Structure 1
């Protein structure tokens, strides 16, 4: 009798132990299905360990493409839709990542400006939604409304050390979420290698040998006129150029300056973002600008839009090589700007797309302005 009782007790204990082990294993498995990340706004967000489907709002699709994750995208913004037309530029033909991946333009549209189609997002069932850094309550509202994790990432300008760091941190965050850590490291290395090459070519040029330069028509929420500029425009930063607007801010951003200030700065060379080309050319016909050195000496050049539907980082690098060739030809003798641009686009978006961008905007060229 005692022996039978002992066997029953052991059976019960063993049985309970097995159940507990199974429950523990199940709990560990459940926990491992998600990871907790801190987004670029400092929010703690739980996201699936494996991302199969995603939506990238607020121009963050560009970074998803850089990270070789286009196959996971299930919805796009109205501006990225292949059938939509905005201004004079056919959508998809003016953005490097959409030229390289036109199939993205045929996906369902989930947002247009500040209007989000919540029902469409729920129907598409993405595992995660990326957005730029927006007010926290907006991200939380979106997350609750659709029941999908919302991760805010850095989609602002680069150019200064602080801005670059935020961008690299954001790429690493997205790489972790998408299982693309290696590609994130690769993109960061590509950017820094180009930056280092550009800076090393121009670092020995003394200030008194540098021409004063100005970027005109730096787009922001659409094209701008001649007074739209950037005090820390990345292509100028990377080649140590003397940006006449640099004292107006300690970071790269869109600003508008007084006409009189631009005339007083008297830049030696003006570069025009070709998203704003016609507007700036029309502005330059104003006789008030005729005595600016760049206008008098016909030193005006067009560059591809770095800031155009957010910030095309690869285009900024391509512009920098062209500008370096114009300002310091002896330092860039080995560079064919158009071929270099295609090398850069290949590294970022997987295809050489300079030809298509040139057809849309004009490409690297001297701009003739009639007074």
Structure 2
């Protein structure tokens, strides 16, 4: 998967499974949790009923985190709560400062840009795999870069749009989520005329982005995608950024290991055109 923390720490796979995961209300394995005798249980993306039942059945305090990437204040609050519970408050504050520094750097680079080309991201995963029609009106890398997202007029969140609408939007640049690249490529092979009629494809302005969602958002990948997209859209403003070095810096700060080469081997290199004209 695209979860860098698992790639950085493969030993996590050896830990006891304590819940059935999934996009909708995971189910805790109460008996397994009791056997482990934790001092505290940290839960996320679960209902209040599940939390109350878990606390009542185990007799162990449950701390709930809601690390929303759409609201950085809530994300920072979740980090601070986790830091306090785990006695890692300095680590939480250091990470928050680093995130704020990254955001400030990205925003300062795109400030005053005179021309913002139209962009579209496709192939976003949402409760399963989807093709080119799966997009987002507030795709976070586009938001941070103040990019001209053609799908922003269709609403927020991840959703499916009609392919005819994408044709009408006719974006100048297209970015495809690597997680569903195979679905998009298969559709390109079946419908080359449709894709060739879109400016981004005819101009060879189609690029890869790494998947940053796996139920929750891996924000380190969001920032890596930001710098990669920035180098594509505003090359003069990001000319000093070496994407491999920047990605490794970000990954080391978040998960403790430079994983660019591992992720590039798994999903593909960033910044380079995919070369999908047909």
Deviation, 1:147, is 2.0
Q: Tell me if 1:351 matches 2:263.
A: no
Deviation, 1:101, is 1.4
- Which residue of the partner structure matches residue 266 of structure 1? 170
Contact 1:222 1:308 in 2 (8 A): no
User: Under a length normalisation based on structure 1, what TM-score does the superposition of the two structures give?
Assistant: 0.70
Alignment of 1:156-305 (within 5 A): 156-158=68-70, 163-206=71-114, 209-249=115-155, 251=156, 253-285=157-189, 286=191, 287-305=193-211
- Which residue of the partner structure matches residue 273 of structure 2? 366
Separation in 2, partners of 1:329, 1:342: 20
Deviation, 1:116, is 2.9
Question: Greater RCO between the two (CA within 8 Å, min separation 6)?
Answer: 2
Deviation, 1:221, is 2.2
User: Under a length normalisation based on structure 2, what TM-score does the superposition of the two structures give?
Assistant: 0.92
Q: Identify the match of residue 57 of structure 2 among 116, 126, 145.
A: 145
Give the SS at the match of 2:213: coil
Deviation, 1:344, is 0.7
Separation in 2, partners of 1:270, 1:187: 31
Contact 2:123 2:132 in 1 (8 A): yes
Rg larger in structure? 1
Alignment of 1:16-55 (within 5 A): none
How many residues of Structure 1 are paired with residues of Structure 2 in the alignment? 271
Separation in 1, partners of 2:90, 2:261: 29
Give the SS at the match of 1:330: coil
- Point out where structure 2 has 5 or more consecutive residues left out of the alignment: none
Question: Structure 1 stretch 131-140 or stretch 345-354: which is displaced more?
Answer: 131-140
Contact 2:67 2:76 in 1 (8 A): no
Deviation, 1:370, is 4.8
- Which residue of the partner structure matches residue 122 of structure 1? 34
Separation in 1, partners of 2:250, 2:35: 37
Contact 1:214 1:270 in 2 (8 A): yes
Q: Tell me if 1:312 matches 2:224.
A: no
- Point out where structure 1 has 5 or more consecutive residues left out of the alignment: 1-88
- Which residue of the partner structure matches residue 63 of structure 1? none
Q: Report runs of 4+ in structure 1 exceeding 4 Å deviation.
A: none
Q: CA RMSD for the aligned pairs?
A: 1.6
1:257-282 deviation digits (Å, cap 9, x = unpaired):
12222111111000111011111222
- Which residue of the partner structure matches residue 341 of structure 1? 247
